[in-house]
Chain A
């Protein structure tokens, strides 16, 4: 585990990121995007609007945002990471007018709504909500974990507009023995097999009734882009992004834990008991990830930026799944001493919290700046990774470096 914090490795990762960023800012659309259906033009224009994201994969499309581009309090659409398990559906299918959402299963009152009916029958709300991929930070696992090698940038906090999931579920009168939801969508399995679900995740009813979950039709004041789930998606803030089903068509209420695609295997699960790095467990020894853990990100300055003064403004965001962040501390001496930052309240529950600090450096030299957040239950970010084979929940402290040269 110490391996992760060797300076050589740290610099290796930093320079790799910078290189990738450089290349991608030149080629803002990844070459060779191929899709099964005739929606290429719209998809490419969605990606063209992505500002300097690092493309990890192009089929399915997965891209993350470098930390310094996540500086805004509300993540602009152009800088929102992209996570797909399958292929984006055809725009002819993803039609706002004819789109319907079904609520069925263990309910007394199954329903089918058009988007217009959702807007008319339920209160429309707008909330700023954090959304993080369960595998954010996977790239730093040792031994390496499988999957897209997300570094820091599979996190966002955009403004979502829609109706409350809890209101919609209440209107269907859920039976009292219900314990879980199952989410279904219109994306297409990579094999092209239309019978197969790409991904179908769910959440416990207790989480589903939280008033911050949104069935969203707009993002940052505009219709959802196709790549983010147009025309309808779920946002279940604070839980792994995979629970926030894009291209949402149906929510089934269940009297058992959902057994949909990527619920029953090893995906989005972590060991029940602590394990030695490298240990591969059987499914029965894994548990489903629920709330994401406490984490923070330094979004200014950009990693590696030189500073010509002994003072430096440092800022970023912190979030804690379903919980609130109580403090964020900064160290410039490898964790020997810490300084408390000024931390803002979230604009609404489940929004990330901005923090900032003015650092006085003792003199010239190479410094690492570490950020460490603590949640309201006094749980702080760890310095090392609690290893699991799929590379989930790396919430270890974020580090950047700077050279102070006056």
Chain B
């Protein structure tokens, strides 16, 4: 019984940490994406100053298209919004 519990614990620990690592790598990929898409025009400092809801971030990204930002692919848009509303939420 103890053996089973030990194996199960080890299994769970490994799988949760790899899940964690995966999340972390998605997050850092999204950060790179944000940098690539936004900092060609302006410093990321303006982003770091904001604390906004997801819907307001969506509004802002859409308004950036009007300011000359190259239109984002749907997946880039989703990933950037995900990153912004995770780290710069109100």
A contact residues vs B (CB 8 Å cutoff): 32, 55-60, 143-144, 146-149, 189-193, 196, 280
Contact = CB atoms under 8 A, between A and B. Distances in A.
B52 A146 contact: yes
B45 interface: yes
Given A143-B53, A189-B68, A196-B68, A58 B90 contact: no
B67 interface: yes
Given A56-B46, A190-B67, A191-B67, 16 more contacts: A32-B43, A56-B49, A57-B46, A57-B49, A58-B45, A60-B43, A143-B90, A144-B50, A144-B52, A144-B90, A146-B56, A148-B49, A189-B68, A190-B42, A191-B41, A191-B68
A144 B67 contact: no
Interface string B46-59: 10011111001001
A144 B49 CA distance: 10
Contacts of A148: 46, 49
Given A191-B67, A196-B68, A144 B51 contact: yes
A71 to B, nearest CB: 26
B11 to A, nearest CB: 43
A198 to B, nearest CB: 10
A352 B32 CA distance: 46
Contacts of A32: 43
B78 interface: no
B14 interface: no
Interface residues of B, number: 17
Nearest to A190: B41
Nearest to B53: A143
B61 to A, nearest CB: 12
Given A57-B45, A59-B43, A146 B50 contact: yes
A147 B60 CA distance: 10
Contacts of A56: 45-46, 49
Contacts of B69: 191
Interface string B13-45: 000000000000000000000000000011101
Contacts of B51: 144
B34 to A, nearest CB: 15
Contacts of B67: 190-191
B38 to A, nearest CB: 11
26 contacts: A32-B43, A55-B45, A56-B45, A56-B46, A57-B42, A57-B45, A57-B46, A57-B49, A58-B45, A60-B43, A143-B90, A144-B50, A144-B51, A146-B56, A147-B46, A148-B49, A149-B49, A189-B68, A190-B42, A190-B67, A191-B41, A191-B67, A191-B69, A193-B68, A280-B56, A280-B59
Contacts of B60: 146
A17 to B, nearest CB: 14
A280 to B, nearest CB: 8
A112 to B, nearest CB: 30
Contacts of A280: 56, 59
A148 B43 CA distance: 12
B68 A60 contact: no
